[in-house]
Amino acid sequence: MTDNSIAVETAAAPVAASLTRHKFRPKPPTHLADMTPEERKTVMKESGFPAFRVRQLENHYFSHLSIDPDTMTDLPQGIRRQLVEQFFPPLITKVYSRQADNGTTIKTLWELFDHTKIESVLMRYPTRTTLCISSQVGCGMGCPFCATGMLGLTRNLSTAEIVEQVRAAALLAANGGLAGGATRLSNIVFMGMGEPMANYKSVVQAIREISALPPQGFGISARNITVSTVGVVPGIKKLAQEGLPVRLAVSLHASNNTLRDELVPMNKRFNLEKVMDAAHDYFLATHRRVSIEYALMRGINDQKINAIELAKRINHYGDNWAHVNPIPLNPVEGSRWTASKPEDEKQFLRILNDAGITATLRDTRGNDIDGACGQLAAKYYENETTK
Ligand code: SF4
Protein backbone atom coordinates (compact mmCIF):
# COMPACT_ATOMS: atom_id res chain seq x y z
CA MET A 1 0.00 0.00 0.00
CA THR A 2 1.41 3.39 -0.96
CA ASP A 3 0.50 6.73 0.61
CA ASN A 4 -1.31 7.36 -2.62
CA SER A 5 -4.17 5.06 -1.71
CA ILE A 6 -7.02 4.72 0.69
CA ALA A 7 -6.61 1.53 2.73
CA VAL A 8 -8.82 -0.96 0.96
CA GLU A 9 -7.52 -4.39 1.98
CA THR A 10 -10.49 -6.67 2.21
CA ALA A 11 -11.30 -10.31 2.56
CA ALA A 12 -11.00 -10.35 -1.22
CA ALA A 13 -7.73 -12.12 -1.96
CA PRO A 14 -7.06 -10.33 -5.28
CA VAL A 15 -6.77 -6.99 -3.47
CA ALA A 16 -3.88 -8.00 -1.25
CA ALA A 17 -2.16 -10.03 -3.95
CA SER A 18 -2.32 -7.31 -6.55
CA LEU A 19 -1.25 -4.56 -4.16
CA THR A 20 1.87 -6.58 -3.41
CA ARG A 21 2.61 -6.79 -7.14
CA HIS A 22 2.08 -3.05 -7.52
CA LYS A 23 4.54 -2.17 -4.74
CA PHE A 24 7.78 -2.86 -6.60
CA ARG A 25 6.90 -1.47 -10.00
CA PRO A 26 8.89 1.39 -11.56
CA LYS A 27 7.07 4.73 -11.55
CA PRO A 28 6.01 6.52 -14.72
CA PRO A 29 8.20 9.51 -15.70
CA THR A 30 7.21 12.74 -13.97
CA HIS A 31 5.11 15.01 -16.15
CA LEU A 32 3.96 18.60 -15.78
CA ALA A 33 0.52 17.34 -14.71
CA ASP A 34 2.10 15.41 -11.79
CA MET A 35 3.54 18.59 -10.29
CA THR A 36 1.97 21.44 -8.35
CA PRO A 37 2.37 24.89 -9.94
CA GLU A 38 5.14 25.62 -7.41
CA GLU A 39 6.97 22.37 -8.17
CA ARG A 40 6.83 23.20 -11.88
CA LYS A 41 8.54 26.54 -11.24
CA THR A 42 11.23 24.91 -9.10
CA VAL A 43 12.00 22.32 -11.79
CA MET A 44 12.03 25.01 -14.45
CA LYS A 45 14.49 27.15 -12.48
CA GLU A 46 16.68 24.13 -11.68
CA SER A 47 16.87 23.48 -15.42
CA GLY A 48 18.19 26.99 -15.95
CA PHE A 49 15.06 28.66 -17.35
CA PRO A 50 12.97 31.49 -15.92
CA ALA A 51 9.84 30.52 -13.95
CA PHE A 52 7.50 32.32 -16.37
CA ARG A 53 8.15 29.58 -18.93
CA VAL A 54 5.91 27.36 -16.78
CA ARG A 55 2.88 29.53 -17.53
CA GLN A 56 3.67 29.25 -21.24
CA LEU A 57 3.86 25.45 -21.03
CA GLU A 58 0.65 25.28 -18.96
CA ASN A 59 -1.05 27.39 -21.58
CA HIS A 60 0.01 25.06 -24.39
CA TYR A 61 -1.00 21.97 -22.43
CA PHE A 62 -4.26 22.93 -20.75
CA SER A 63 -5.58 25.71 -23.01
CA HIS A 64 -4.45 24.44 -26.41
CA LEU A 65 -4.17 20.71 -25.55
CA SER A 66 -0.80 20.68 -27.29
CA ILE A 67 2.49 18.98 -26.54
CA ASP A 68 3.84 19.63 -30.04
CA PRO A 69 6.97 21.82 -29.88
CA ASP A 70 6.29 23.15 -33.38
CA THR A 71 3.15 24.91 -32.13
CA MET A 72 4.97 26.60 -29.23
CA THR A 73 6.03 29.67 -31.16
CA ASP A 74 6.15 31.86 -28.05
CA LEU A 75 9.13 29.81 -26.82
CA PRO A 76 12.62 30.24 -28.30
CA GLN A 77 13.04 27.54 -30.93
CA GLY A 78 16.28 26.30 -29.38
CA ILE A 79 14.64 25.25 -26.10
CA ARG A 80 11.22 23.97 -27.21
CA ARG A 81 12.22 20.35 -27.63
CA GLN A 82 14.18 20.27 -24.42
CA LEU A 83 11.22 21.65 -22.43
CA VAL A 84 8.75 19.29 -24.11
CA GLU A 85 10.98 16.29 -23.38
CA GLN A 86 11.39 17.36 -19.77
CA PHE A 87 7.79 18.35 -18.94
CA PHE A 88 5.77 16.22 -21.35
CA PRO A 89 7.32 12.72 -21.45
CA PRO A 90 5.10 10.39 -23.52
CA LEU A 91 2.88 8.53 -21.05
CA ILE A 92 0.08 7.03 -23.12
CA THR A 93 0.47 5.67 -26.66
CA LYS A 94 -2.51 4.58 -28.71
CA VAL A 95 -2.56 0.85 -29.48
CA TYR A 96 -5.83 1.09 -31.41
CA SER A 97 -9.22 2.77 -31.42
CA ARG A 98 -12.58 1.28 -32.27
CA GLN A 99 -15.69 3.15 -33.30
CA ALA A 100 -19.30 2.29 -32.59
CA ASP A 101 -22.73 3.90 -32.55
CA ASN A 102 -22.16 5.38 -36.04
CA GLY A 103 -18.94 7.06 -35.02
CA THR A 104 -20.33 8.80 -31.93
CA THR A 105 -18.46 6.38 -29.63
CA ILE A 106 -14.70 5.83 -29.80
CA LYS A 107 -13.00 3.38 -27.49
CA THR A 108 -9.22 3.56 -27.28
CA LEU A 109 -6.72 1.10 -25.89
CA TRP A 110 -3.58 2.84 -24.60
CA GLU A 111 -0.14 1.46 -23.82
CA LEU A 112 1.71 2.97 -20.86
CA PHE A 113 5.46 3.41 -20.33
CA ASP A 114 5.76 -0.08 -18.79
CA HIS A 115 3.75 -1.74 -21.62
CA THR A 116 0.66 -2.16 -19.47
CA LYS A 117 -2.69 -1.28 -21.08
CA ILE A 118 -5.65 0.87 -20.13
CA GLU A 119 -8.65 2.16 -22.01
CA SER A 120 -10.89 5.17 -22.32
CA VAL A 121 -14.20 5.68 -24.11
CA LEU A 122 -15.38 8.93 -25.70
CA MET A 123 -19.12 9.25 -26.26
CA ARG A 124 -21.10 11.98 -27.98
CA TYR A 125 -24.67 12.63 -26.87
CA PRO A 126 -27.06 15.31 -28.14
CA THR A 127 -26.27 17.70 -25.26
CA ARG A 128 -22.86 16.60 -23.99
CA THR A 129 -19.66 14.76 -24.85
CA THR A 130 -18.49 12.38 -22.15
CA LEU A 131 -15.19 10.61 -21.58
CA CYS A 132 -15.01 7.47 -19.45
CA ILE A 133 -11.49 7.15 -18.04
CA SER A 134 -9.38 4.60 -16.18
CA SER A 135 -7.74 5.26 -12.81
CA GLN A 136 -5.78 2.00 -12.42
CA VAL A 137 -4.28 -0.71 -14.62
CA GLY A 138 -6.78 -3.48 -13.95
CA CYS A 139 -8.72 -3.52 -10.69
CA GLY A 140 -8.24 -5.32 -7.40
CA MET A 141 -11.86 -5.37 -6.30
CA GLY A 142 -12.51 -8.79 -7.78
CA CYS A 143 -16.17 -8.44 -8.86
CA PRO A 144 -16.74 -11.81 -10.54
CA PHE A 145 -18.99 -10.54 -13.36
CA CYS A 146 -16.51 -7.87 -14.52
CA ALA A 147 -13.83 -8.19 -17.23
CA THR A 148 -11.49 -5.78 -15.44
CA GLY A 149 -11.99 -7.60 -12.16
CA MET A 150 -10.77 -10.77 -13.86
CA LEU A 151 -7.48 -9.01 -14.75
CA GLY A 152 -6.69 -8.15 -11.14
CA LEU A 153 -4.78 -5.01 -10.24
CA THR A 154 -1.40 -4.25 -11.81
CA ARG A 155 -0.81 -0.72 -10.54
CA ASN A 156 -2.23 2.73 -9.88
CA LEU A 157 -2.09 5.36 -12.61
CA SER A 158 -0.15 8.53 -11.95
CA THR A 159 -2.05 11.83 -12.01
CA ALA A 160 -0.60 12.65 -15.42
CA GLU A 161 -1.56 9.24 -16.86
CA ILE A 162 -5.16 10.06 -15.88
CA VAL A 163 -4.98 13.66 -17.13
CA GLU A 164 -3.41 12.58 -20.43
CA GLN A 165 -6.48 10.47 -21.23
CA VAL A 166 -8.54 13.66 -20.89
CA ARG A 167 -6.20 15.81 -22.99
CA ALA A 168 -6.10 13.24 -25.79
CA ALA A 169 -9.90 12.95 -25.87
CA ALA A 170 -10.48 16.71 -25.65
CA LEU A 171 -8.13 17.18 -28.61
CA LEU A 172 -9.83 14.43 -30.61
CA ALA A 173 -13.27 15.95 -29.91
CA ALA A 174 -12.07 19.48 -30.75
CA ASN A 175 -10.56 18.25 -34.02
CA GLY A 176 -13.82 16.64 -35.15
CA GLY A 177 -12.84 13.02 -34.41
CA LEU A 178 -16.38 12.12 -33.40
CA ALA A 179 -19.24 11.91 -35.88
CA GLY A 180 -21.12 15.20 -35.94
CA GLY A 181 -18.07 17.45 -36.15
CA ALA A 182 -15.92 19.35 -33.71
CA THR A 183 -17.22 19.50 -30.16
CA ARG A 184 -16.06 20.31 -26.64
CA LEU A 185 -15.42 17.57 -24.13
CA SER A 186 -17.87 18.44 -21.36
CA ASN A 187 -18.17 15.49 -18.96
CA ILE A 188 -15.80 13.02 -17.33
CA VAL A 189 -16.74 9.77 -15.63
CA PHE A 190 -14.27 7.68 -13.64
CA MET A 191 -15.90 4.42 -14.71
CA GLY A 192 -13.17 2.81 -16.79
CA MET A 193 -10.64 0.37 -15.39
CA GLY A 194 -9.99 0.53 -11.68
CA GLU A 195 -11.46 1.66 -8.37
CA PRO A 196 -10.82 5.44 -8.15
CA MET A 197 -10.90 5.47 -4.33
CA ALA A 198 -8.01 2.98 -4.25
CA ASN A 199 -5.90 5.58 -6.10
CA TYR A 200 -7.35 8.49 -4.18
CA LYS A 201 -4.55 11.07 -4.19
CA SER A 202 -3.85 10.86 -7.94
CA VAL A 203 -7.56 10.86 -8.78
CA VAL A 204 -8.30 13.98 -6.68
CA GLN A 205 -5.28 15.83 -8.08
CA ALA A 206 -6.43 14.88 -11.58
CA ILE A 207 -9.95 16.17 -10.83
CA ARG A 208 -8.49 19.48 -9.67
CA GLU A 209 -6.52 19.82 -12.91
CA ILE A 210 -9.41 18.72 -15.11
CA SER A 211 -11.74 21.26 -13.49
CA ALA A 212 -9.40 24.25 -12.93
CA LEU A 213 -9.82 27.09 -15.37
CA PRO A 214 -7.23 27.34 -18.17
CA PRO A 215 -4.29 27.72 -18.14
CA GLN A 216 -4.10 25.70 -14.92
CA GLY A 217 -6.63 23.11 -16.00
CA PHE A 218 -9.00 22.08 -18.79
CA GLY A 219 -11.94 24.05 -17.37
CA ILE A 220 -14.37 21.10 -17.32
CA SER A 221 -16.79 21.87 -14.49
CA ALA A 222 -16.37 19.66 -11.41
CA ARG A 223 -20.17 19.33 -11.45
CA ASN A 224 -19.74 17.44 -14.73
CA ILE A 225 -17.26 14.95 -13.26
CA THR A 226 -18.49 11.66 -11.79
CA VAL A 227 -16.42 9.47 -9.48
CA SER A 228 -17.65 5.92 -9.34
CA THR A 229 -16.85 3.62 -6.45
CA VAL A 230 -17.73 0.11 -5.50
CA GLY A 231 -18.23 1.37 -1.94
CA VAL A 232 -14.87 2.25 -0.40
CA VAL A 233 -16.39 4.10 2.56
CA PRO A 234 -13.27 6.01 3.77
CA GLY A 235 -12.82 7.34 0.23
CA ILE A 236 -16.44 8.50 0.02
CA LYS A 237 -16.07 10.28 3.37
CA LYS A 238 -12.82 11.95 2.36
CA LEU A 239 -14.17 13.05 -1.02
CA ALA A 240 -17.15 14.69 0.70
CA GLN A 241 -14.69 16.98 2.51
CA GLU A 242 -12.66 18.05 -0.56
CA GLY A 243 -14.93 20.96 -1.49
CA LEU A 244 -15.26 19.53 -5.00
CA PRO A 245 -18.88 19.35 -6.22
CA VAL A 246 -18.28 16.14 -8.18
CA ARG A 247 -21.04 13.60 -8.54
CA LEU A 248 -20.64 10.35 -6.64
CA ALA A 249 -21.76 7.11 -8.26
CA VAL A 250 -21.93 4.03 -6.07
CA SER A 251 -21.90 0.64 -7.76
CA LEU A 252 -24.33 -1.25 -5.57
CA HIS A 253 -25.35 -4.14 -7.87
CA ALA A 254 -27.24 -5.91 -5.07
CA SER A 255 -30.16 -5.24 -2.75
CA ASN A 256 -29.06 -7.32 0.25
CA ASN A 257 -25.77 -8.25 1.88
CA THR A 258 -25.87 -11.96 1.05
CA LEU A 259 -26.08 -11.22 -2.65
CA ARG A 260 -23.62 -8.31 -2.50
CA ASP A 261 -21.03 -10.40 -0.66
CA GLU A 262 -21.04 -12.63 -3.74
CA LEU A 263 -21.17 -9.95 -6.46
CA VAL A 264 -18.94 -7.30 -4.85
CA PRO A 265 -16.29 -8.77 -2.52
CA MET A 266 -15.65 -5.30 -1.03
CA ASN A 267 -19.03 -5.72 0.68
CA LYS A 268 -17.37 -7.99 3.24
CA ARG A 269 -15.35 -4.97 4.37
CA PHE A 270 -18.00 -2.24 3.91
CA ASN A 271 -21.50 -3.68 3.87
CA LEU A 272 -24.62 -2.19 2.30
CA GLU A 273 -25.61 -0.28 5.43
CA LYS A 274 -22.18 1.39 5.72
CA VAL A 275 -22.07 2.19 1.99
CA MET A 276 -25.59 3.65 1.94
CA ASP A 277 -24.89 5.73 5.07
CA ALA A 278 -21.71 7.13 3.50
CA ALA A 279 -23.47 7.83 0.19
CA HIS A 280 -26.29 9.69 1.95
CA ASP A 281 -23.76 11.68 4.01
CA TYR A 282 -22.07 12.60 0.73
CA PHE A 283 -25.39 13.97 -0.51
CA LEU A 284 -25.84 15.99 2.70
CA ALA A 285 -22.31 17.41 2.50
CA THR A 286 -22.28 18.29 -1.20
CA HIS A 287 -25.99 18.65 -2.12
CA ARG A 288 -25.26 16.53 -5.15
CA ARG A 289 -27.65 13.68 -5.78
CA VAL A 290 -25.88 10.35 -5.67
CA SER A 291 -26.11 7.88 -8.57
CA ILE A 292 -26.72 4.30 -7.57
CA GLU A 293 -25.37 2.00 -10.28
CA TYR A 294 -27.00 -1.40 -10.51
CA ALA A 295 -25.91 -3.88 -13.20
CA LEU A 296 -28.94 -6.05 -13.92
CA MET A 297 -28.03 -9.75 -14.10
CA ARG A 298 -30.54 -12.31 -15.26
CA GLY A 299 -32.14 -14.21 -12.41
CA ILE A 300 -29.47 -13.02 -9.97
CA ASN A 301 -30.35 -9.51 -8.83
CA ASP A 302 -33.11 -8.39 -11.20
CA GLN A 303 -36.23 -9.87 -9.59
CA LYS A 304 -39.23 -8.15 -8.01
CA ILE A 305 -37.91 -8.74 -4.49
CA ASN A 306 -34.58 -7.06 -5.37
CA ALA A 307 -36.29 -3.92 -6.67
CA ILE A 308 -38.48 -3.76 -3.54
CA GLU A 309 -35.46 -4.20 -1.22
CA LEU A 310 -33.48 -1.55 -3.10
CA ALA A 311 -36.36 0.94 -3.00
CA LYS A 312 -36.71 0.40 0.76
CA ARG A 313 -33.01 1.03 1.38
CA ILE A 314 -33.05 4.27 -0.62
CA ASN A 315 -36.31 5.59 0.84
CA HIS A 316 -35.05 4.87 4.37
CA TYR A 317 -33.13 8.18 4.09
CA GLY A 318 -36.02 10.26 2.71
CA ASP A 319 -36.81 11.67 -0.68
CA ASN A 320 -34.91 12.57 -3.76
CA TRP A 321 -31.29 12.12 -2.64
CA ALA A 322 -30.39 9.37 -5.08
CA HIS A 323 -30.97 8.46 -8.68
CA VAL A 324 -30.81 4.81 -9.72
CA ASN A 325 -29.12 3.74 -12.96
CA PRO A 326 -30.00 0.13 -13.66
CA ILE A 327 -27.48 -0.99 -16.30
CA PRO A 328 -28.14 -3.86 -18.67
CA LEU A 329 -25.10 -6.08 -18.06
CA ASN A 330 -22.78 -6.38 -21.04
CA PRO A 331 -21.87 -10.03 -20.57
CA VAL A 332 -18.23 -11.06 -20.47
CA GLU A 333 -17.46 -13.99 -22.75
CA GLY A 334 -17.48 -17.30 -20.94
CA SER A 335 -19.07 -15.80 -17.84
CA ARG A 336 -22.16 -17.24 -16.15
CA TRP A 337 -23.49 -13.71 -15.54
CA THR A 338 -25.76 -12.54 -18.32
CA ALA A 339 -28.11 -9.68 -19.17
CA SER A 340 -31.64 -9.48 -17.78
CA LYS A 341 -34.74 -10.20 -19.81
CA PRO A 342 -36.33 -6.98 -21.13
CA GLU A 343 -39.53 -7.67 -19.14
CA ASP A 344 -37.50 -7.98 -15.92
CA GLU A 345 -35.71 -4.69 -16.65
CA LYS A 346 -39.07 -2.99 -17.14
CA GLN A 347 -40.49 -4.47 -13.94
CA PHE A 348 -37.40 -3.38 -11.98
CA LEU A 349 -37.74 0.19 -13.21
CA ARG A 350 -41.49 0.28 -12.60
CA ILE A 351 -41.13 -0.82 -8.97
CA LEU A 352 -38.51 1.88 -8.29
CA ASN A 353 -40.57 4.55 -10.03
CA ASP A 354 -43.72 3.51 -8.15
CA ALA A 355 -41.75 3.92 -4.91
CA GLY A 356 -41.02 7.55 -5.90
CA ILE A 357 -37.41 6.89 -6.97
CA THR A 358 -36.05 8.31 -10.21
CA ALA A 359 -34.50 5.54 -12.22
CA THR A 360 -33.38 5.44 -15.83
CA LEU A 361 -32.02 2.49 -17.70
CA ARG A 362 -28.43 3.43 -18.54
CA ASP A 363 -27.49 3.57 -22.17
CA THR A 364 -24.79 0.97 -22.81
CA ARG A 365 -22.65 2.64 -25.42
CA GLY A 366 -20.25 0.63 -27.49
CA ASN A 367 -21.62 -2.82 -26.76
CA ASP A 368 -20.56 -3.90 -30.22
CA ILE A 369 -16.95 -2.93 -29.45
CA ASP A 370 -16.62 -4.76 -26.17
CA GLY A 371 -18.00 -1.73 -24.41
CA ALA A 372 -18.29 -3.07 -20.86
CA CYS A 373 -15.82 -1.75 -18.34
CA GLY A 374 -12.39 -3.21 -18.97
CA GLN A 375 -13.43 -5.47 -21.82
CA LEU A 376 -11.18 -4.09 -24.53
CA ALA A 377 -8.10 -4.41 -22.36
CA ALA A 378 -9.26 -7.78 -21.07
CA LYS A 379 -9.59 -9.02 -24.64
CA TYR A 380 -6.15 -7.66 -25.53
CA TYR A 381 -4.49 -9.49 -22.65
CA GLU A 382 -6.40 -12.65 -23.47
CA ASN A 383 -5.20 -12.54 -27.10
CA GLU A 384 -1.65 -11.88 -25.98
CA THR A 385 -1.61 -14.83 -23.63
CA THR A 386 -3.21 -17.25 -26.12
CA LYS A 387 -0.83 -16.34 -28.99
S1 SF4 B 1 -16.95 -3.76 -11.35
FE2 SF4 B 1 -15.63 -1.97 -10.98
S3 SF4 B 1 -14.86 -2.33 -8.90
FE4 SF4 B 1 -15.65 -4.32 -9.59
S5 SF4 B 1 -13.84 -5.36 -10.47
FE6 SF4 B 1 -14.90 -4.24 -12.15
S7 SF4 B 1 -13.80 -2.26 -12.30
FE8 SF4 B 1 -13.33 -3.17 -10.30
Taking only the tens place, the pLDDT of each residue in 102-133 is 999 999 999 999 999 999 999 999 999 999 99
Does the annotation mark 146 as catalytic? no
Give the model's pLDDT for residue 381. 52
CATH class, 91-386 region: alpha beta
Answer yes or no: is pLDDT of 264 > 60.
Answer: yes
Give the model's pLDDT for residue 148. 81
CB-ligand 1 contact for 148 (6 Å cutoff): yes
What's the DSSP call for residue 77? Answer: H
Contact residues for 301 (Cβ-Cβ < 8 A; gap 6+): 253, 254, 255, 259, 263, 294, 295
Task: Say whether 128 sits in a helix, a strand or coil.
Answer: coil
Mean pLDDT, residues 212-230 taken together: 97
Mean pLDDT, residues 89-96 taken together: 98
Give the model's pLDDT for residue 145. 85
Rounded-to-integer distance, Cα 138 and Cα 141, Å: 9
- Where along the chain do the CATH 3.20.20.70 domains lie? 91-386
CB-ligand 1 contact for 296 (6 Å cutoff): no
CB-ligand 1 contact for 141 (6 Å cutoff): yes
Give the model's pLDDT for residue 3. 42
pTM above 0.85, yes or no: yes
Answer yes or no: is pLDDT of 81 > 50.
Answer: yes
- Where along the chain do the CATH 1.10.150 domains lie? 32-87
Does the annotation mark 132 as catalytic? no
Q: Select from 135, 139, 232, 267 the residue to mutate for testing ligand 1; criterion: most ligand atoms less than 8 Å from CB.
A: 139
Report the run of H or E that residue 95 belongs to, with start and end.
Answer: strand 93-100
Asked whether the CA dihedral 378, 371, 190, 84 is positive or negative, the reply is positive
What residue owns the CA closest to ligand 1's atom 5?
Answer: 149
What residue owns the CA closest to ligand 1's atom 4?
Answer: 143
Identify the active-site residue in 132, 139, 146, 373: 373
Answer yes or no: is pLDDT of 280 > 50.
Answer: yes
Give the model's pLDDT for residue 31. 98
Ligand 1, atom nearest to 147 Cα? 6
Contact 329, 338 (CB under 8 A): yes
pLDDT digits (tens, 9 = 90+) for 159-198: 999 999 999 999 999 999 999 999 999 999 999 999 999 9
Answer yes or no: is pLDDT of 379 > 80.
Answer: no
Rounded-to-integer distance, Cα 140 and Cα 107, Å: 22
Give the model's pLDDT for residue 66. 98
Ligand 1, atom nearest to 264 Cα? 4
Ligand 1, atom nearest to 373 Cα? 7
Give the model's pLDDT for residue 378. 53
CB-ligand 1 contact for 143 (6 Å cutoff): yes
Contact 236, 229 (CB under 8 A): yes
Fold of 32-87: DNA polymerase; domain 1 (1.10.150)
| Confidence label for 2 from pLDDT (cuts 50, 70 and 90) | very low
Give the model's pLDDT for residue 271. 98
pLDDT > 70 fraction of the chain, expressed in percent and rounded? 87
pLDDT digits (tens, 9 = 90+) for 333-366: 777 888 899 999 999 999 999 999 999 887 666 5
Identify the active-site residue in 119, 161, 195, 293: 119
CA dist list (Å): 64 to 15, 90, 134, 171, 301: 39, 17, 23, 8, 46
